[in-house]
Amino acid sequence: NGNTNASAAYVISLMGAISEIYERDVNTRLAVPYLRVWESDTDPYDANTGDPLDQVLNHWNGNMTDVDRTVTHFFTGRQNTSYGWVAYVGVLCNMEYGYGVSAHLSGSFPYPLVDHNGGNWDVVVAAHELGHNFGTGHTHSYTPPIDGCGNGDCSDPYGGTIMSYCHSCSGGLTNTVLSFHDRVKTTIVNFMDSSGCNLIGEGVSAADDIVETLQDNALDIDALGNDASQSCDPFMLDSFESTTLAGGSVELLAGQGTSGQDMFRYTPPAGYSGNDAFSYTIIGDSGSSTANVNIDVRQLRAADDRLNPIDGLSVDFYELSNPSALPDFDAMTPYMSDVVTSVDFGSTGGEFMNSGRSDEIGAVFKGYVWALIDGVYTFTTESDDGSALYIGDERVVDNDGLHGMVKRSGSIPLSAGWHALRIEFFENGGGAGVISTIAGPGMPEQNLTGLLLSHESSAQCSVADFDLDGDLDFFDVAAFIEAYNTQSDDADLNGDGELNFFDISDFVVAYETGCP
């Protein structure tokens, strides 16, 4: 969707997850010294004009020979390639053929890593193709075969490993474990030992960290936990900044990391919210490296005032024409409306909800979500096609675009109480579905449903909207004055059981503020 920062961060996260597998199974840590992301469709690889692997090979052999690397890998979410994955075999440090392609990427995977999960495509495909670069073929090509999935024998696919084709059997990726078979491990290790390729780097690498905390809340940071020595020799903390850019403080927690490494305790300035940062340096036998710790100090969003809450969310349905992204629903008129008690609609090729449509449809869910206590809440949408979730005016989850049931998440700090919720959804053709969840302090992930949801029961837009028409005007002023003069409870705006100056003040403030 043109977000180069998000794309780069995702590839790094994906390679980090795959590195966990390689480090565990074949004692090899993967590093990414070079990464390029294109914001628009201007890259030199065109799936419409040829084989992507050939294009990567030709471009890099002709233009990128100055980039030092062990292998080169092309990641793409394109669905119009003739295959989902391909790579040359046994090509570490081979500047002519050290290439691979992972296509049809969904842009998400479960983490921490979990076996037998249908969302593991991105991890499996890239780990599989790198496995070819590392010298192994498919499990069904071994003698004798490790499994028969790739030969059409799907009698025992459950437990298939990364280099297998057991995902092609009934059950798909839920058959697959995120590991290499023992015989494959031996093949990879033997290939690395005999490749003549210098796979041992030098120096230490301190990686930047991005963390977040709430306003006035201290945070313990395991910044050294993702740092590394290229030669696997030990390293240690050399120095750090004790005062941050915004004036916060950094305290050393010596030896308190999960593996005995040093940690930091960050305390933000009192009342501060925004970005903050400090740096630190590690040192090893073969050099030193400095990294930055970037902290997002977030303020709790204040709860919204409610007028006449009732259960569920209102939902408006829109007729769309060949959509490829979420439209501006505010500029459109819905053709029907409804109320739902949950956002839990799995993908279907039939009618979406009770909209009367199965394709080219949009829906906007509106209402409020309940935060039980102060804290950071994580929301998800899983949708086919695109969706987005807003709390107030902030887009918390961006799951836009054409795709199958893809799950994405985002977080926001919320004060206890009700918060304005809006979920936008669209579907072009094929399956249509949208599911949303919430997780928070002491609250495991659960569907948005039941008592967590509410919406307004009338068109009243403010406590000053006395005639309930959604507008603030002379008639509301007249209605308030009449209610006040007749000592009606409707004029007791602060709910203290008395009609006095404070109620008049509340009305004036609400009237001047206007309708949202």
In this structure, what CATH number is given to the domain that contains residue 286? 2.60.40.10
Do 397 and 416 sit in the same domain of this protein? yes
Going by pLDDT thresholds of 50, 70 and 90, the confidence category of residue 234 is confident
Q: Which amino acid is at 324?
A: S
Asked whether residue 148 is domain-assigned, the answer is yes
**Domain count for the chain:** 4
269 in the same domain as 247 = yes
Domain membership flag for residue 303: no
* Helical axes 501-513 vs 474-485, angle rounded to 10°: 170
What is the dihedral angle through the alpha carbons of 342, 345, 351, 353, rounded to the nearest 10 degrees?
A: 0
**Does residue 152 lie in a domain region?**
yes
Domain that holds residue 257: 204-298
pTM for this entry:
0.61
pLDDT single digits (tens) 38-90: 877 777 887 676 788 999 999 999 999 999 899 999 998 887 777 778 999 99
Distance between CA 183 and CA 187 in Å, rounded?
A: 6
- In terms of domains, do 422 and 390 share one? yes
pLDDT at res. 239: 97
Which of 195, 226, 246 represents a domain boundary (last residue)?
A: 195
Domain finish residue from 298, 331, 356: 298
CA distances from 50 to 36, 44, 75 (A): 21, 11, 16
> Does residue 436 fall inside a structural domain?
yes
How far apart CA 289 and CA 281 sit, in angstroms, is 6
* 258-274 confidence digits (pLDDT tens): 889 999 999 999 999 99
Whether residues 30 and 150 fall in one domain: yes
Q: What is the CATH number of the domain that holds 370?
A: 2.60.120.1560
Percent of the chain with pLDDT over 90: 70
- Res. 516: pLDDT tops 70: no
Q: How far apart are CA 421 and CA 303, in angstroms?
A: 12
Q: Is residue 464 part of a domain?
A: no
Give domain status of residue 349, yes or no: yes
Q: What is the pLDDT of residue 473?
A: 85
In a domain, 155, yes or no: yes
DSSP symbols for 97-129 = T-EEEE-S--S---SS--SS-TT-HHHHHHHHH
| Shared-domain flag, residues 235 and 170 | no
> Mean pLDDT, the chain, as a whole number?
91
Tens of pLDDT, residues 405-432:
889 999 999 999 999 999 999 999 989 9
SS3 449: strand
Phi, psi of 121 (to 5 degrees): -55, -50
- Return d(Cα 370, Cα 71) in angstroms, integer: 49
- Annotate 252-275 with b (16+ C-beta within 10 A) or e (fewer): eeeeebeeebbbbebebbeeebee
Residue 29: the pLDDT is: 86
Percent of the chain at pLDDT > 70 equals 96
Whether residue 54 is found in the same domain as residue 182 = yes
Residue 469 has pLDDT above 70, yes or no: no
Q: pLDDT band at residue 204, thresholds of 50, 70 and 90?
A: confident
Residues 258 and 316 in one domain: no
pLDDT surpasses 80 at 393: yes
Q: For position 65, which CATH number holds?
A: 3.40.390.10
Please determine, for residue 33, whether its predicted confidence score (pLDDT) is greater than 90.
Answer: no
| Model pLDDT, residue 470 | 66
Listed residues 252, 276, 298: the one ending a domain = 298
Q: How confident is the model at residue 100 (pLDDT cuts 50, 70, 90)?
A: very high
Q: Is 463 part of a structural domain of the chain? A: no
The answer to whether residues 314 and 281 belong to one domain is no
Supply the DSSP symbol for 473: S
Q: Do residue 326 and residue 447 come from a single domain?
A: yes
Same-domain status, 210 and 272: yes
pLDDT tens figures, 108-158: 898 889 999 999 999 999 999 999 999 999 999 999 999 999 999 999 999
In this structure, are 96 and 216 located in the same domain? no
State yes or no: pLDDT of 296 exceeds 80: yes
Joined together, the tokens standing for residue 11 give 């590839």
Q: How far apart, in whole angstroms, are the C-alpha atoms of residue 186 and residue 168?
A: 25
Q: Which residue's structure tokens are 């390639």?
A: 81
Co-location of 67 and 155 in the same domain: yes
For 156-193, the pLDDT digits (tens) are: 999 999 999 999 999 999 999 999 999 999 999 999 99
Instruction: Look at residue 236 in the predicted model and tell me its pLDDT.
Output: 93
pLDDT the model gives residue 47: 62
The DSSP 8-state label assigned to residue 34 in this structure reads -
Task: Report the pLDDT value the prediction gives residue 164, as an integer from 0 to 100.
Answer: 97
Among 145, 153, 126, which residue's Cα sits nearest to residue 184?
Answer: 145
C-alpha to C-alpha distance for 504 and 484, rounded to whole angstroms: 9
Residues near 372 by Cβ (< 8 Å), separated by ≥ 6?
416, 440, 441, 442, 443
